[in-house]
Amino acid sequence: MRPQSPNSYQQALVAKAREIAQARLAARADHHDREMVFPKESLQDLSEAGLTASLVDKAFGGLGLGHHRGDILTHWLIVKEIAKADMALARCFEGHANAMLLIDCIADDAQKARWFEGVVNHGHNWAVWSGEPQVVKPGQKQRFGTYVKETTDGYYVDGSKVFCSSAPGADWAILMVSTKGPGGARHATSAQDLIMLACDLRDPSVTVDDSWWDPMGMKGSVSYLVRFEETFIPKENLIGTPGQYLHEDWQTRFTPQYTATFLGGAEAAYEYALAYIQKQQSQQDPYVQHRIGKMAIHLETCRMWLARTAHLWETGEIQEAKLAGNSTRYLVEQLTMEVVNHAIHICGARSLIRPSALERIYRDLSFYVRHDNDDQVLAMVGKANLGVAHDASFFHAGKEDRSARGRASL
């Protein structure tokens, strides 16, 4: 089956995101990048337009999009429009959306009522924090990771996480932590012991450390280090059951969304190059023609893979959707990096001098694609096609598929 064309409602939602992105969000991107500040006003704009509730059930006042509701493409296209204006902001929006999807699909009705009310009526921002990389990099003095102690009433979380997007501005975060020790979801030693806890970030035992965050790009995602000092989280804030996140491959629902952000950045780079060519009047240059031709084909390929992946989710072809999403993740990284490289070749050195959207996109994209290791993503796609056991969520070499089904292939 081929993906269907979007209906007028879907088109209107994406058009609304585009309008806000072009009229308001794009102008703030440079400030978020230079000052490394939380994109508060931009998220407020998106909230007032109802877009931060895109994945919230209509019964709770949301837009009711989602993989399981027959429309995830519209949400991904909204992410793309936001990323076109500001990739770092899109990361904050993505993290919030991931939390909404988990609550919408896994949380109980009382939790939904409690938390969605805050999002829909008060503009609360959410995040999902797993980041506990276990490999110590050269020069790194402290180890990252959390320890969890369970009591009859709840859990005590102690330790640190990094890459906590929206850290200084989020109201709530879903913490991916393990009762078996550090590692988060990505480096979990035991899938069964990974739990999801909704943490109210007003708790004084939670502190953010911005000194850790001095990256080359995605600066405005303010993905700081966060410390938890015996942070108590009541049992009523446990989302789903232990192990559910990895057993049900939830990460595979999020992976294609990252590619929407890559693609938004690359589309903006393409438009930057077109404007530059117009100024230079270099349309007749054969090298420019070749590079623009490749860029256009690459971008169209990315859009087609994203739409195909969405269609598979929307029509319930779940195993195919997971594989298509991971293939999309691999392909879109390669093609969008090439698109940006072509843009730089067309525009020259001055395009890499601030203020230049292309300069920022180059840094943001180069950094953000390292969210996963594309060598391992590609190996996973190979394994799936060979019928070999694999990890569809985090692509770990040597780790088998962590789903409860224990399938040999997707």
Ligand X SMILES: Cc1cc2nc3c(=O)[nH]c(=O)nc-3n(C[C@H](O)[C@H](O)[C@H](O)COP(=O)(O)OP(=O)(O)OC[C@H]3O[C@@H](n4cnc5c(N)ncnc54)[C@H](O)[C@@H]3O)c2cc1C
Residues of this chain that bind ligand X (CB under 6 A): 91, 95, 127-131, 133, 135, 163-165, 186, 218, 221, 223, 367-368, 370-371, 373, 376, 397
Which amino acid is residue 281, in one-letter code?
Q
Please report how close the Cβ of residue 255 comes to ligand X at its closest, in angstroms. 11
Specify the residue, 71 or 333, whose C-beta has the smaller distance to ligand X: 333
Cβ 163 to ligand X shortest distance, Å: 3
The partner residues of 175 in beta bridges, in order of sequence, read 129, 197
Structure tokens at 114: 């409690």
Closer CB to ligand X, residue 10 or residue 223?
A: 223
Who's near 189: CB < 8 A, 6+ residues apart? 178, 180, 181, 183
- Provide, rounded to whole angstroms, the least separation between the CB of residue 35 and ligand X: 17
**Cβ proximity to ligand X, 10 vs 255, nearer residue:** 255
CA distance 156 to 153: 10
Nearest to 160 by CA among 175, 180, 179: 175
Instruction: Report d(CA 346, CA 351) in Å as an integer.
Output: 9
Which residue, 292 or 380, has its beta carbon nearer to ligand X?
380
Shortest Cβ distance from residue 345 to ligand X (Å)?
25
Our CB check for ligand X shows the closer of 91 and 342 to be: 91
Cβ-based nearer residue to ligand X, 54 or 165: 165
Nearer to ligand X, 64 or 215 (CB): 215
Nearest approach in angstroms of CB 280 to ligand X is 33
Q: For the CB of residue 193, give the shortest distance to ligand X in the complex, in Å.
A: 17
Q: Are 81 and 21 in contact (CB under 8 A)?
A: yes
Give the nearest distance from C-beta 171 to ligand X in angstroms.
15
